[in-house]
Amino acid sequence: MAQEQETEVLVVGAGPVGLFTALVLAENGIQVRIIDKEERTAAHSYACALHPRTLKLFQRIGLLEDVLAIGRRIDSVGFYDGPSRQTELRLAELNVEFPFVVVLSQCALERLFEQRLKRKRRIKVEWCHRLSRVEPQKGSVVAEIDKLGETSKGYIVRELDWEVEKTVRTPASFVVGADGYDSAVRQSLGIECESISEPQTFAVYEFQSDDKYENEARVVLDSATTNVFWPQAGNRCRWSLQMANQDFSEESHAKERTDVLIVEQSVDVKTLARVQQRIQERAPWFKGNIKEIDWSVEVQFEMRHAKRFGQNRCWLVGDAAHQTVPAGMQSMNVGFSEAEELAGALTKILREGGSLDLLETYDRTCVGEWQRLLGIKGAPKPRDAASPWVKERCARILPCVPASGQDLSLLLDQLRLDFQGAK
Ligand SMILES: Cc1cc2nc3c(=O)[nH]c(=O)nc-3n(C[C@H](O)[C@H](O)[C@H](O)COP(=O)(O)OP(=O)(O)OC[C@H]3O[C@@H](n4cnc5c(N)ncnc54)[C@H](O)[C@@H]3O)c2cc1C
């Protein structure tokens, strides 16, 4: 098996969090490689909102202007129970540099990251490179990587498939596992996840509507389900509707890589009417008519976190280490903060003789933050002044807030909820 040259940091996974980790490391002057088993960035919008804390991180690496130029600003989040508005979060009242959320599709964000890595740092994502395992060594780690190539199979009808062209061993001072839900890095380290709920199924619909929407996201928390509305650029919008788990047909956390309209064939008049009716039942105040569905998918989300965020020279960020329900877009956004913190610790170790204990601190900080975000420890406590509706739903409100850290505590304070977010 061929042995490659040693690199300082190997980032596994070129999703949003892996791409951002590679960018921050490169900005810090660290030699970095980034690999992904797929052939290109994602094709749809997935986690489509950027928190105030994320905007600050993007400003530091010079990406904010690009993001603001193509994203849509959100100033508040309204909370509904069927027809009635119960409460709201006023992002504009946050005393931070960017007191708003930006709606931007994940595929556009991933493209921005990839271009910036290539143009400014001359780093190309190594697509079609799949990590199979990591092997700790004294003072380094070796990653075993399969380089994948296209092959055709099928005699009458030609089908394209992927095969391993060769396997190489890549030594690195550190490996960052940003390889998502089924993380091969996490599994290779034998790290388990702590789950706190059964998976919850959401149906996501993005469509052109005939109405115009204010710069407000809306969460509908009825007695049984969580549903979220995000206005997007122009007249486009996104609804994520929680479904009964038995309706879920196929488990998939993989992201599409082709720009096809997934539901194109099935979006007939009946389907449009069914989606419209579902939205009307849960959010009677929504007046838009669906003109055309651009993208639709059903996906399951679990509330879970890795018991450790890594060990020795292999560390995890993003969905490789956690997941929560999609309403507040917390998993990806907290992943960006983790990336910043981990890249900072690795830079101190590699450039300033910092101790490996910095990584233990990283682990404790992340596990602590996720235990609070998932309500395992330090769940939000309603004050007497909180409304009965908020008191009853405070655990369900927590993952719906598009913020983390101090911003999250301050926004929950508007609802008269006490919550200790990360610093
Ligand atoms: C259909 C769908 C809808 C979603 N909707 C929402 C939503 O509404 N709100 C929300 O907050 N979140 C949503 N998400 C989740 C959101 O996309 C994730 O939180 C976000 O992508 C996490 O980013 P990440 O970089 O940590 O991981 P990912 O985006 O999962 O990236 C991991 C990368 O690692 C690569 N990889 C995996 N294994 C290997 C390996 N062995 N070797 C090399 N590369 C590997 C993958 O190809 C992938 O590119 C959705 C996800 C899906 C699939």
Q: What are phi and psi of 142, to 5 degrees?
A: -110, 130
Distance of CA 363 to the CA centre of its chain: 19
Q: What is the pTM of this model?
A: 0.94
Nearest CA to ligand 1 atom 38: 179
Distance, CA 331 to ligand 1 centroid (Å)? 10
Q: What is the mean pLDDT of the chain?
A: 93
Quick check: CB of 117 below 6 Å from ligand 1? no
Structure confidence by residue, pLDDT tens digits, 125-167: 999 999 999 999 999 999 999 999 988 766 666 666 889 999 9
How far are the Cα atoms of 15, 68, 234, 397 from residue 255, in angstroms, in the given order?
A: 9, 24, 24, 27
- Domain 2-48+107-194+304-371 coded CATH 3.50.50.60: yes
Query: Ligand 1: distance of its center to the CA of 309 in Å?
Result: 17
Q: What is the pLDDT of residue 161?
A: 80
Please tell me the distance from the alpha carbon of residue 355 to that of residue 237, in angstroms, as a whole number: 47
Joined together, the tokens standing for residue 301 give 């989300």
Query: pLDDT tens across 385-420, in order?
Result: 999 999 999 999 999 999 999 999 999 999 999 998
| Structure confidence at residue 256 (pLDDT) | 67
Question: From the CA of 122, how far away is ligand 1's center (Å)?
Answer: 24
**pLDDT band at residue 46 under the 50/70/90 scheme:** very high
**Residue ranges per structural domain of the chain:** 2-48+107-194+304-371
Strands lying side by side in the sheet with 322-323: 193-195, 304-306, 322-323
Is ligand 1 within 6 A of the CB of residue 47? yes
Is 50 exceeded by the pLDDT of residue 237? yes
Q: For residue 265, what pLDDT is reported?
A: 45
- 327 pLDDT exceeds 70? yes
Q: Cα of 354 to ligand 1 centre, how many Å? A: 31
Number of residues written out for the chain: 423
Confidence of residue 78 (pLDDT cuts 50, 70, 90): very high
